[in-house]
Amino acid sequence: MTAKEFFEFAKKNNASMVDLKFTDLLGTWQHCTFPIDTWDDSTFEEGVGFDGSSIRGWQGIHMSDMLAVPDADTVAVDPFFEKPTVSVVANIVDPVTKEDYSRDPRHVARKGIAYMKSTGIADTCYVGPEPEFFIFDEVRYEQKQNTGFYQIDSVEGAWNTNRIEEPNLGYKPSYKGGYFPVSPSDTYQNLRSEMVFEMQKVGIVVEAHHHEVGTGGQGEIDMQFADLLKMADQFMWFKYIIKNVAWKHGKTVTFMPKPIFEDNGSGMHSHMSLWKAGKPLFAGNGYAGLSEIAIHAIGGVLKHAAAILAFGAPTTNSYRRLVPGFEAPVNLVMSARNRSAAVRIPMYSNNPKAKRFEFRCPDPSANGYLAWTAMLMACIDGIKNKIDPGKALDRDIYEMTAGELADVPHVPGSLSESLEALHNDHKFLTEGGVFTDDLIENWIDYKKEFELDPLSLRPHPFEFQLYYDS
């Protein structure tokens, strides 16, 4: 879309304001709103200035001036503003060098796509995520010198079967019992449908929505696959829309991977395939109908999985989900149908266009621009170096002996382990200058300084139960 077409779109929708959005390093949207008559064609070349010193993970006050250059192709009408407002996603540019900012996650994804094309391996990377989330009625939490607690509640929570609701009508999905009953047990059918309708307004194609396994309002909405950059943009809209629709109805949504103890967490199984000249590259005559390229791509993902998870499962809470049981994909192997494998090959269709792999370890706390680009870079490394993914795991892990399981490699057990893996294994990410050493070092430092270290200093509520009377 040209700048002229952008302004025509705004006029057609009676928009007098434009909301400029961009993503911080951790994957949260930031925005600033402008009267549309303050913009002209040159805005799409020169951008608008802003103070980047307070943006998480970016450089400090000594290099605070930044430019946000809108990408006209991303224009949509924001569905939540009272007055008609068009929204556009920006790329971040250094005002002095006029170069794209290396810590802008969207820039990393754009570089990853360009690098993929430069290798000649493929010209398109399709991504299809399955983000899960919880819809709660209330959340309360606090962390002070003398207090540390959280409390969540949901009208669907299995813990509320005895609550006085005048009347309590039951129909609370049990722990691990939410996949996937009809109403009245599923009380969020209409709310999820409204979320889908709002997504469709901004151009997102949705394949399905349903209640998920967990009690307490766990849900899933699946977007149709799209190229990597478009999907990363859509994932930002996805979170924004779900949270705002829930808020409109007096509900709250979290994409935390593991907010409920002893029940299923929220993952974001990420499907990926490579195409070239309009043809799928992953269909073939090998294992599970895969091509040699696909097998090697999976080999790259499995080899670098621990480092990828520094971006794909990027919170301390992520590793409350990545534990054995609860269908957690902790085994670093591939499988045609075994959902405990880190990489699964869906077998629903024999159509070559549907052939893909599913990396099941990421969760929706991830920054899609970084996590999916890291997956793509691992695929390329696997293809270039013909990495063997190893023997497929097609057995029921619960029937395997301890000795047999000991030979199966596992995902990291903590964020600290994933960050260490990223520190030791990131050359595949810096090929072609896609990820920079600066971004990787900054990511590791940020996670340690603002997440790992503060958490390690605070007493845990469970420690009082364990040790108070010791």
pLDDT of 59: 76
395 labelled catalytic: no
Q: What is the pLDDT of residue 60?
A: 65
Report pLDDT for 62.
60
- Whether 458 is catalytic: no
Reported confidence tier of residue 398, pLDDT bands at 50, 70, 90: low
Catalytic residue among 269, 296, 356, 426: 269
List 163, 249, 337, 339, catalytic entry: 339
Percent over 70 (pLDDT), the chain: 98
Contacts of 261 (CB under 8 A, 6+ apart): none
Specify the pLDDT at position 327: 63
Catalytic residue among 78, 156, 186, 220: 220
Confidence label for 185 from pLDDT (cuts 50, 70 and 90): very high
CA distances from 466 to 188, 258, 260 (A): 37, 22, 20
Q: What is the mean pLDDT of residues 244-261?
A: 98
What stretches of 51-209 show up as alpha helix (H) in DSSP? 105-119, 189-201
Summarize pLDDT for 99-118 with one digit per residue, the tens.
999 999 999 999 999 999 99
**pLDDT tens digit sequence for 355-386:** 999 999 999 999 999 999 999 999 999 999 99
- Choosing from 5, 8, 37, 51, which is the catalytic residue? 51
Kindly name the residue from 107, 110, 304, 360 that is annotated as catalytic. 360
Burial class (CB in 10 A: 0-12, 13-18, 19+), 123: middle
pLDDT at 323 over 70: yes
Annotated catalytic residue 360: yes
Distance (Å, whole) CA 198 – CA 87? 14
pLDDT at 328: 78
**Whether residue 99 lies in the annotated active site:** no
Span 42-52, pLDDT tens digits: 999 999 999 98
220 a catalytic residue: yes
Amino acid identity, position 408 = V
Residue with tokens 């002996």: 401
Percent of the chain with pLDDT over 90: 90
325-345 residue pLDDT tens: 656 789 999 999 777 899 999
Which one of the listed residues 24, 78, 104, 130 is annotated catalytic? 130
**pLDDT given at position 400:** 76
Predicted local distance difference test score (pLDDT) of residue 324: 81
Please give the pLDDT value at position 337. Answer: 74
Active-site hit among 24, 263, 358, 381? 358
What are the phi and psi torsion angles at 49 (to 5°)?
Answer: -80, 150
How confident is the model over 169-189, as a mean pLDDT? Answer: 94
* Residue among 156, 212, 263, 381 flagged as catalytic: 212
- Does pTM top 0.85 for this prediction? yes
pLDDT at 63 over 90: no
Where are any strands of DSSP class E within 137-195? 138-143, 148-153
358 included as an active-site residue: yes
Residue of 268, 250, 286 lying closest to 375 (CA atoms) = 268
For the chain, the average pLDDT equals: 95
Whether the per-residue pLDDT at 313 is higher than 90: the answer is: yes
pLDDT of 387 > 70? The answer is yes
Is residue 412 within 8 Å of residue 421, measured between CB atoms? yes
Catalytic-residue membership of 271: no
Strand boundaries in 78-184, DSSP class E: 85-93, 124-136, 138-143, 148-153
Residue 20 has pLDDT above 70, yes or no: yes
- Please tell me the predicted confidence (pLDDT) of residue 61: 56
Q: State how far the Cα of 330 lies from the Cα of 321, in Å rounded to an integer.
A: 9
